[in-house]
């Protein structure tokens, strides 16, 4: 469990970015250096960047924000999100506030089990090869465990061996060995790849076949998280729509994602907006999670929604999101990138499972926010208001002047920096006269 932190910061969005960072710095107990890393001033230096990729020429910045209001498993979290798309962080924060009214998210991660694949070709009798591999299970698992004694000492390691037979493929019959390995707090790609490479010669000796691929599977369906949110219908009311009506519309909107891959792709993209932003901020491999998410969404043979929405007997809106979540809090970029390290400190998660639970809760929040807006006033109005708010703050507006400048720009359908500056100077001089 993370530390005791209050993720409710009323009016956070109205502060300047420097004031917001100060607020987060104090609440998360960040050092000056860590705060500077989040601000981007002391982020990844060129030397570190050069050691992380090839032919390096520099670094690439992304906006970093903090989603507020999150409660997951009775614990408050401030959630760092790195994303270039406007509205995502506001939407997550707002949805988290709605879910907070129903007690917050409940999320549960399974053990951190990853799958490594070993492909075996050139077999006369694949079924017999399978039987022989399963008979040598203990020896094969022992070879896997020898590759990472520290992880084994920490309670991780090889858990199981499965052998699948494909009697007909483009390359003839083949056998695929699955190593099931508990990676604990690491994402585990390196560990798994090392283990399956080490097992390959023994697999060849046992089967008499030829091993080709030795690589992890991104369909991490043994490393699942299930998050659930219950929102009292009153909390959902929006403009002319009462809460019950909004709940019903959200369920109807979800029905299209459940029925139609064209909608499911967009629906899931909205979920990944939130998930990827946290993964990027914490230095996790978002491509791996993306691959796993979409493969999981198609696991029944047809691409479908990752989440599900319904109303319960009391009329509450209830959402669930279940998906693979291969993330780590140790090793890799999470350790090297100073901003990722600081982001993890803000989040205050101690294990990969805790991070995975928060990440999936953010995905569900993002989905709720999108469906609520889409099923009522559409998303453009909210986008315009947020854009106006950013312009007002960039023009120098603070406190209640932010709201006033925003209201005028939205009313006049003109959202531009020069307009914000003009309105601000008019309003400031009016306030001075009235004083």
Residue numbers annotated as active site: 85, 269, 285, 383
Count of residues interacting with ligand MEV (CB under 6 A): 9
Binding mask 85-104 for ligand MEV (x = CB under 6 A): x-------------------
- How many angstroms separate the first and last alpha carbons of the chain? 50
Q: Does 324 bind ligand MEV (CB under 6 A)?
A: no
Residues numbered 355-374 forming contacts with ligand MEV, rule: CB under 6 A? 370, 374
Question: Pick from 119, 202, 111, 120: which is nearest to 158 by CA?
Answer: 111
Q: How far is the CB of 303 from ligand MEV (least distance, A)?
A: 15
* Segment near ligand MEV (CB under 6 A); pick from 7-15, 227-235, 268-276, 418-426: 268-276
Tokens of 65: 């924000």
Which H or E element spans position 123? none
For ligand MEV, the binding residue among 270, 324, 328, 382 (CB under 6 A) is: 270
- H/E stretch holding 228: strand 224-231
Q: Can you tell me the distance from the alpha carbon of 381 to that of 391, in angstroms, rounded to the nearest whole number?
A: 15
Is 152 a binding residue for ligand MEV by CB under 6 A? The answer is no
The full DSSP string for 248-267 is: HHHHHHHHHHHH-HHHHHHH
Taking alpha carbons only, the member of 379, 386, 391, 378 closest to residue 419 is: 391
Residue 16 within binding range of ligand MEV, rule CB under 6 A: no
The dihedral of CA 424, 380, 81, 5: what is its sign?
positive
Determine, following the binding rule CB under 6 A, whether residue 266 of this chain makes contact with ligand MEV.
yes
Residue 116 and residue 192 in contact, taking contact as beta carbons nearer than 8 Å: yes
| Residue 252 touching ligand MEV (CB under 6 A) | no
Give dist(CA 387, CA 98) in Å, integer: 22
User: Does the footprint of ligand MEV cover residue 2 (CB under 6 A)?
Assistant: no
Q: Which of 256, 379, 384, 410 binds ligand MEV (CB under 6 A)?
A: 379
Whose Cβ is closer to ligand MEV: residue 274's or residue 328's?
274
Contact residue for ligand MEV among 130, 228, 249, 267 (CB under 6 A)? 267
Residues that bind ligand MEV (CB under 6 A): 85, 266-267, 269-270, 273, 370, 374, 379
């Amino acid at each position: 469990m993370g530390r005791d932190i209050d993720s409710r910061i009323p009016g956070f969005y109205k502060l300047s970015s420097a004031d917001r960072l100060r607020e987060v710095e104090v609440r998360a107990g960040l050092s000056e250096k860590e705060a500077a890393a989040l601000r981007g001033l002391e982020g990844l230096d060129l030397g570190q960047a050069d050691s992380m990729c090839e032919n390096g020429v520099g670094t690439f910045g992304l906006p970093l924000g903090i989603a507020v209001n999150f409660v997951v498993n009775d614990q408050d979290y401030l959630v760092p999100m790195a994303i270039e798309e406007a509205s995502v962080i506001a939407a997550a924060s707002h949805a988290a506030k709605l879910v907070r009214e129903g007690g917050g998210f409940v999320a549960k991660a399974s053990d951190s089990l990853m799958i490594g694949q070993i492909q075996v070709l050139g077999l006369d009798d694949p079924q017999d090869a399978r039987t022989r591999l399963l008979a040598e299970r203990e020896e094969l698992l022992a070879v896997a465990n020898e590759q990472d004694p520290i992880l084994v000492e920490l309670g991780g390691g090889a858990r199981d061996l499965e052998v699948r037979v494909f009697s007909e493929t483009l390359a003839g019959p083949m056998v695929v060995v699955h190593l099931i390995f508990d990676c604990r707090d690491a994402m585990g790609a390196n560990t798994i790849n090392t283990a399956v490479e080490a097992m390959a010669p023994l697999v060849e000796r046992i089967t008499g076949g030829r091993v080709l691929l030795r690589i992890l599977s991104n369909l991490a369906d043994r490393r699942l998280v299930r998050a659930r949110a219950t929102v009292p219908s009153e909390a959902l009311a929006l403009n002319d729509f009462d809460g019950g009506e909004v709940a019903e519309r959200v369920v109807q909107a979800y029905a299209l994602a459940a029925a139609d891959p064209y909608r499911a792709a967009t629906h899931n993209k909205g979920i990944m907006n939130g998930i990827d932003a946290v993964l990027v901020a914490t230095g996790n491999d978002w491509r791996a999670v993306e691959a796993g998410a979409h493969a999981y969404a198609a696991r029944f043979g047809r691409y479908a929604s990752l989440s599900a929405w319904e109303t319960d007997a009391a009329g509450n809106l209830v959402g669930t999101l279940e998906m693979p979540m291969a993330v780590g809090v140790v090793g890799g970029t999470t350790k090297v990138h100073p901003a990722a390290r600081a982001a993890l400190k803000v989040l205050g998660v101690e294990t990969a499972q805790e991070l995975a639970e928060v990440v999936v809760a953010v995905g569900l929040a993002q989905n709720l926010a999108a469906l609520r807006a889409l099923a009522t006033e559409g998303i453009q109005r909210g986008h315009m208001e947020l854009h106006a708010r950013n312009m007002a703050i960039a023009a120098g507006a603070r406190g209640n002047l932010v709201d006033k400048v925003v209201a005028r720009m939205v009313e006049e359908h003109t959202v531009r920096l020069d307009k914000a500056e003009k309105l601000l100077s008019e309003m400031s001089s009016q306030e001075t006269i009235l004083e």
